[in-house]
Amino acid sequence: MNKNKKFYNFARDETGKRELYIDGEIAENMWFGDECTPGKFREELFADKGDITLWISSPGGDCFAASQIYTMLMDYSGSVTVKIYGMCASAASVIAMAGTRVMMSPTSMMLIHNPWTVAVGEKKDMVKAGEMLDEVKECIINSYEIKTGLSREKISVLMDDETPMNVHKAIALGFCDGILTDEKKSAEVENKTTIQSCYARLNLLTGGNYS
């Protein structure tokens, strides 16, 4: 196991905001060194104050571990901007719902589905496992409902259908607030628009043909 490999990477950008990356699976305990665990996440999250940007690219994992991280982020005093830059699936999508603002890359995807488990035993044990999954689903729906404002029935159907969402679909359904853009290109377009507006006004005032 690579002891230097971590799921998180806190740093401060030029604005002073902290950044955190979640790339691995979400688990209760560390097994291979790159899992995202609630204990380590709590240690890093509350080590400092201020707004944070949380980058997520994760296949998901343990829903109860995700619940703990979701709750920590909801309780965090600073603003949490979630930026999805790869796959945000299963339990990872629950964590994303804690974002004050959720943004997705044009090439990223979110995936939601029903919880599943492995169970052994006789018939009554299977029944209990099914009942537990029903309750876990209701807990997951709570996080989606708070973020999206969709009805629980609609969310339940989306989970039944194991729904993948590109950024436009996620925005339409309320799981995402916007698309990540290239700020450099956006600035160039804004500058060109400003210059063109100036030329247009100059032409109007002088009758010239500036461009």
**Rounded mean pLDDT for each run of 10 residues along the chain, 211 residues in total:** 44 70 89 78 91 97 97 96 98 98 98 94 94 97 98 98 98 98 59 60 65 58
pLDDT confidence of residue 6: 46
Dihedral sign (CA 170, 176, 177, 183):
negative
User: Which tokens belong to 163?
Assistant: 């729904």
SS3 75: helix
Measured in degrees and rounded to the nearest 5, phi and psi for residue 52 equal -130, 155
Per-residue confidence (pLDDT) for residue 33, from 0 to 100: 57
125 DSSP 8-state letter: H
Q: pLDDT at position 192, please? A: 57
Q: What is the DSSP string of 149-188?
A: ---HHHHHHHHHTTEEE-HHHHHHHTS--EE---HHHHHH
How many angstroms separate the CA atoms of 133 and 8, rounded? 29
CA angle 58–63–64, rounded 5-degree value:
130
Q: Rounded distance, CA 71 to CA 94, Å?
A: 10
Give the CA distances from residue 177 to residues 103, 107, 190, in Å, rounded to whole numbers and listed in that order.
Answer: 6, 15, 22
- At 81, is the secondary structure helix, strand, or coil? strand
Using DSSP, state whether 112 is helix, strand or coil. strand
CA distance 148 to 125: 35
pLDDT of residue 1: 33
- Which two structure tokens, joined as six digits, stand for 143? 């996080």
Can you name the residues that pair with 58 across neighbouring β-strands?
88
Inter-residue contact 42 to 31 (CB < 8 Å)? no
Predicted TM-score (pTM) of this structure: 0.80
| 11-180 CATH choice from 3.40.50.620, 2.60.40.790, 1.20.120.550, 3.90.226.10 | 3.90.226.10
